[in-house]
Amino acid sequence: MDDRTAPPIVGVIEQVAAQAPDRPALIHEDGAVGYGRLVAEARGLAAQFACAGLRPGDAVGVTLAEERAAIPVSLALLRLGCRQVALPPRDPAPVREDLATRLSLVAVVGTSPLDAVGGAAIVVPDLEAAAREGEGPAAPPSLAGDVVVGTSGTTGRPKLMLADQGQLVHQAATLAGYGTVFHRQVPFDSNYGKRLTLRSLVTGGTEVLGADLTPEGLAELCARHGVTRVHMPPQVAEALFAAGARIGATWPDATRIFTTGARIPQALRLGLQQRLGCGVHVQYGATEAGMVTIAGPEEHAAHPDTVGHVLPGVEVILVDEDGRPVPQGEEGLVRIRSAGAIDRYLDDPAATARHCIDGWYQPGDVGRFAPWGALLVAGRRDDMMTLGTIKILPAEIEAVAEGFPGLRDCAAFPVRAPALGDIPVLAVVGDAGFDAAGLLAHCRARLGLRAPRKVVAVDAIPRNAMGKVLRQQLAEMAR
């Protein structure tokens, strides 16, 4: 499918509704929402928003805790051709205020006048009325509606970008190939969550809603509704692994787990597969580039650190610091070209110049291709430590440390010494009586000069919402 000429997202969903109005689009605790009903809600809401004065091209915030309402609201805004941005209620008011001002929001769709940040008008959606009002014919949906998404950065304020409709649902068919009854432990008002829901809807899939579930609750939900694909951040995967002994018997074998991150510890992946009896798949990609690869059990069996083969329709090349392609098999900076990739950031020419180069998106990851064609990602260029002339990536240290007896979690970070460079140090969360000296020797024996020189015990590894290690914070904690 060429995404530049693809029909609007809402148009595709309306085609599904025309053919199978009763097929469940969403399943929530009170029952199922068929495609016909969802489309009617989106049409009715779009009419309500138009009455409230919203016009195509307007930038509109959404502050709704209820995903059951947030999903049709999002479709309605796409339908109208508005530019939408999630202002999650869990975000502090100043953060939402800042975004509202930065994007010149004309309105916020919310439930309380307090949601109207940055001088925007408040628009309160009425879902029941919308379902009634939206039954009749409607104007064709717009292709202009887009979504402002932000990166879950590890430093500074998030970089913003626009995802058009093609980018939002890029690789939808690929994901549907892994299962069409899906659940996510990622909120809809995150970029990742919203894209998963939209991809499911344009492929006629069924989404089972449910947030903040216990491992037992998640297993029960998947079994009850026949979920074939469940997406979760690494932290939820870890919690499932920890509960694996209790829930292993109830976890359906057909419920595949999808998680994200360039490197999920092998012990976690294998342990989850063994305890739950299901496949674990790791997606590699970026908010800016969409999905790039998916590695499942077979890919991981070939190499534990692979992120898998590059998906059809996506190109990856590896270049040196000057942008020249590196010889086959050598390490280089990852560059991605895809219809799912952005070509600029919003109001950030410096970041655009750094990451969007000659039609490629360069996330700053360092990788190489295995002889059999799979991509291996070693870590982030910005995380690379230079000790004298020795280049060290935190991920290689963490890979060696993981699995050491009593080690629960770890992350490598640099202590900067002017005369020496970056001294690699390993922060660990260990069981009582953890053998730090033993771990140092273990790393030294395997990594030589690239080994950590010190192990510091911490209560927890600081991470952002997507599970990325906040290394700067670690360095400050260790000071």
Where do contacts with other proteins occur on this chain (CB under 8 A)?
A: 387-388, 415, 417-420, 423, 425, 444, 449, 453-454
Residue 301 or 445: the one with the smaller Cβ distance to other proteins is: 445
**Distance of alpha carbon 185 from alpha carbon 191, whole angstroms:** 13
Shortest separation between residue 438's beta carbon and other proteins, angstroms: 14
Give the dihedral of Cα atoms 413, 417, 421, 427; nearest 10 deg: -10
Shortest separation between residue 409's beta carbon and other proteins, angstroms: 21
Shortest separation between residue 230's beta carbon and other proteins, angstroms: 43
Residue 31 or 448: the one with the smaller Cβ distance to other proteins is: 448
* Residue 209 CB coordination number (10 Å): 18
List the structure tokens of 228.
């074939």
Residues in CB range of 469: below 8 A, 6 or more apart: 154, 394, 411, 413, 461, 462, 463
Shortest separation between residue 457's beta carbon and other proteins, angstroms: 14
Residue 12 or 439: the one with the smaller Cβ distance to other proteins is: 439
Shortest separation between residue 474's beta carbon and other proteins, angstroms: 14
**Distance of alpha carbon 284 from alpha carbon 254, whole angstroms:** 22
List the structure tokens of 7.
């029909």
Shortest separation between residue 415's beta carbon and other proteins, angstroms: 6
Shortest separation between residue 384's beta carbon and other proteins, angstroms: 18
Residue 359 or 438: the one with the smaller Cβ distance to other proteins is: 438
Residues in CB range of 51: below 8 A, 6 or more apart: none
Contact 221, 210 (CB under 8 A): yes
- E strands in 126-200: 146-150, 160-163, 181-184
Closest to 265 measured CA to CA, from 438, 412, 446, 395? 395
Closest to 190 measured CA to CA, from 149, 145, 153? 149
Shortest separation between residue 80's beta carbon and other proteins, angstroms: 59
List the structure tokens of 52.
């409230």
DSSP category for residue 158: P
Residue 20 or 477: the one with the smaller Cβ distance to other proteins is: 477
DSSP-assigned beta bridge partners for residue 359: none
Residue 370 or 478: the one with the smaller Cβ distance to other proteins is: 478
Residue 423 or 477: the one with the smaller Cβ distance to other proteins is: 423
If DSSP codes are grouped into helix, strand and coil, which group holds residue 8? Answer: coil
Residue 223 or 447: the one with the smaller Cβ distance to other proteins is: 447
Count H helices, E strands: the chain? 17, 26
Shortest separation between residue 458's beta carbon and other proteins, angstroms: 16
Residues in CB range of 422: below 8 A, 6 or more apart: 385, 386, 387, 392, 414, 415, 416
Residue 376 or 412: the one with the smaller Cβ distance to other proteins is: 412
